[in-house]
């Protein structure tokens, strides 16, 4: 069903040798995901059980003054807790009782573990169970870890969604579940495209509200909208659901291939598929073409950060004419990324994990036109004359599906245009 002008490469990267690295890595921890998750789940509250560092990270990552009642907070573990001088477990439960009494709007409460809560082995699962017994059915209390010891950056969302799966009610209904937190407007675009194709038994995880019906069972098929959901993928399979593998919906090609996989699964006729997708595909191509003028022929190097690296390398090489030199990803789940790897032509070094000093050496030797990396590496590399793109922007900006394809390409072309403008000024 996939129709893209560029045929798939004769040799993709699915079986390419992978450079596995297990050294020091530079990424944010999984608490960062709370920033987009709390906007998505409108009656949820994220209570980080952590230190003042965790509270600081959240406040600065949110980057906004909070005027209304916030939907995330930090229960600060003090030195006495860490030294085991107080019963932190009881203290936490008391804190939750106070929060729920004050905030009747909360319907789902996530206790989010951090490095300090892990170090003192605070049993958040037990706390969540006890609190659920006390507050069900009005409030569901779940727990997951966002600690920097266990999770990187986008894995916080994965851990959060995976924690929700065992609590989902069972259904035998034939249905599609979209999995991944997208901005509402983007999610609506996807649901609209699916509805136009006649696929309308669709639920979304995470749902916007606790009461939105989301159930799972042996006749559920699911499609991922984010590549970093390996734990959630496994949890859904344990509940009997089946994954529909497809390239991720980035760019015109990725979106078309993602929709085509679902169209095939649900027996959508080719003529109907074309009628629904032809116009937005043409719009997406036009928008990408504009930004691609700056990108064509340029080289790109990805440090492992968001786990979006492989689908984005596929988009940049196939739709924007770039050449990928190295594509690093924190984890390589072939069950999820296989279809993107098939489309990524053999050539770039695929790397999993990180040994930051070695990777910096490779990057400096390669002198790419564009380096995609975390905030901590971007400034030093810019100072060395390399042009960088902050990976974190890719999860904070709407970039999925047809209508955002041009913006996605624009995120990469902007730093190159800025650098070119600075050179002109300096000349
Ligand atoms: Fe730092 Fe760990 Fe807290 Fe993340 S969870 S902010 S890495 S202390």
* pLDDT tens-place string over residues 304-321: 999 999 999 999 999 999
- Using CA positions, which residue lies closest to atom 3 of ligand 1? 54
Binding-site residues for [4Fe-4S] cluster, in ranges, read 29, 54, 115
Q: Which of 35, 76, 112, 114 to mutate to test the pocket of ligand 1 (most atoms within 8 A of CB)?
A: 114
Q: Which range is least confidently modeled, 44-58, 232-246, 269-283, 401-415?
A: 44-58
Q: What is the pLDDT confidence band of residue 426, given thresholds at 50, 70 and 90? A: low
**Statement to judge: residues 307 and 397 lie in one domain:** yes
From the list 349, 369, 376, the residue with the least C-alpha distance to 413 is 369
Distance 113 CA to ligand 1 centre (A): 9
pLDDT of residue 190: 98
Tell me if 147 CB under 6 Å of ligand 1.
Answer: yes
Please indicate, yes or no, if residue 6 is contained in any of the structural domains. no
Question: Cα–Cα distance between 36 and 116 in angstroms, integer?
Answer: 23
Tell me if 50 CB under 6 Å of ligand 1.
Answer: yes
**Statement to judge: residues 128 and 207 lie in one domain:** no
Supply the CATH number for residue 88's domain. Answer: 3.40.50.1980
**Statement to judge: residues 240 and 296 lie in one domain:** no
**Statement to judge: residues 139 and 75 lie in one domain:** yes
* pLDDT tens-place string over residues 336-369: 999 999 999 999 999 999 889 999 999 999 999 9
Tell me if 113 CB under 6 Å of ligand 1.
Answer: no
Q: What is the pLDDT confidence band of residue 124, given thresholds at 50, 70 and 90? A: very high
pTM: 0.93
Please indicate, yes or no, if residue 63 is contained in any of the structural domains. yes
Q: What is the pLDDT confidence band of residue 3, given thresholds at 50, 70 and 90? A: very low
Q: What is the pLDDT confidence band of residue 408, given thresholds at 50, 70 and 90? A: very high
Q: Which of 26, 33, 34, 53 to mutate to test the pocket of ligand 1 (most atoms within 8 A of CB)?
A: 53
pLDDT of residue 90: 84
Q: Is the pLDDT of residue 118 over 70?
A: yes
**Statement to judge: residues 288 and 260 lie in one domain:** no
Question: Cα–Cα distance between 319 and 33 in angstroms, integer?
Answer: 29
Q: How many domains does the chain have?
A: 3
Q: Which range is least confidently modeled, 72-76, 254-258, 290-294?
A: 72-76
Tell me if 57 CB under 6 Å of ligand 1.
Answer: yes
**Statement to judge: residues 117 and 201 lie in one domain:** no
Sign of the Cα torsion 296, 276, 338, 12 reads negative
- Using CA positions, which residue lies closest to atom 6 of ligand 1? 54
Q: What is the pLDDT confidence band of residue 67, given thresholds at 50, 70 and 90? A: very low
Q: Which of 46, 77, 115 to mutate to test the pocket of ligand 1 (most atoms within 8 A of CB)?
A: 115
From the list 356, 354, 360, 324, the residue with the least C-alpha distance to 340 is 324
Mean pLDDT of 98-116: 94
Which residue range(s) make up the domain with 250? Answer: 175-265
Binding-site residues, in ranges, read 29, 54, 115
């Amino acid at each position: 069903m996939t129709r893209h002008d560029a045929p798939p490469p004769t040799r993709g990267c699915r079986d390419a040798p992978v450079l596995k690295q297990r050294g020091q890595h530079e990424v944010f921890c999984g608490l960062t995901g709370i920033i987009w998750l709390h906007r998505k789940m409108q009656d949820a509250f994220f209570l980080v059980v952590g230190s003042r560092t965790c509270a600081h990270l959240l406040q600065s990552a949110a980057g906004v003054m909070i005027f209304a009642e916030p939907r995330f907070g930090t229960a600060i573990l003090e030195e006495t807790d860490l030294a085991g001088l107080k019963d932190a477990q009881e203290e936490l439960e008391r804190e939750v009782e106070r929060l729920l009494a004050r905030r009747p709007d909360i319907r789902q409460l996530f206790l989010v573990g951090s490095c300090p809560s892990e170090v003192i082995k605070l049993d958040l699962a037990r706390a969540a169970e006890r609190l659920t017994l006390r507050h069900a059915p009005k409030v569901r209390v779940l727990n997951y870890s966002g600690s920097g010891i266990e999770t990187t950056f986008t894995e916080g969302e994965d851990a959060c969604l995976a924690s929700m799966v065992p609590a989902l009610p069972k259904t035998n209904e034939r249905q599609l579940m979209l999995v991944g937190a997208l901005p509402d407007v983007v999610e609506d675009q996807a649901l609209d495209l699916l509805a136009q194709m006649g696929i309308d038994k669709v639920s979304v995880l995470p749902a916007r509200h606790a009461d939105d019906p989301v159930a799972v069972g042996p006749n559920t098929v699911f499609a991922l909208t984010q590549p970093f959901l390996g734990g959630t993928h496994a949890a859904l399979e344990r509940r009997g659901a089946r994954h529909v593998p497809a390239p991720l919906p980035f760019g015109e090609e990725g979106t078309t291939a993602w929709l085509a996989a679902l169209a095939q699964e649900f027996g959508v006729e080719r003529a109907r598929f074309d009628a629904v997708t032809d116009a937005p595909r043409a719009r997406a191509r036009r928008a990408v073409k504009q930004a691609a003028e700056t990108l064509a022929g340029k080289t790109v190097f990805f440090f492992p950060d968001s786990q979006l690296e492989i689908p984005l390398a596929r988009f940049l090489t196939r739709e924007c004419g770039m050449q990928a030199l190295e594509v690093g990803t924190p984890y390589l789940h072939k069950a999820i990324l296989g279809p993107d790897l098939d489309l990524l032509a053999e050539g770039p070094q695929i790397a999993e994990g990180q040994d930051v000093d070695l990777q910096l050496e490779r990057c400096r030797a390669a002198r790419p036109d564009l380096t995609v990396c975390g905030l901590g590496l971007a400034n030093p590399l810019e100072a060395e004359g390399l042009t960088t793109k902050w990976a974190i922007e890719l999860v904070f900006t709407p970039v999925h599906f047809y209508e955002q394809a041009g913006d996605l390409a624009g995120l990469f072309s902007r730093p190159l245009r800025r650098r070119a403008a600075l050179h002109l000024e300096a000349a």
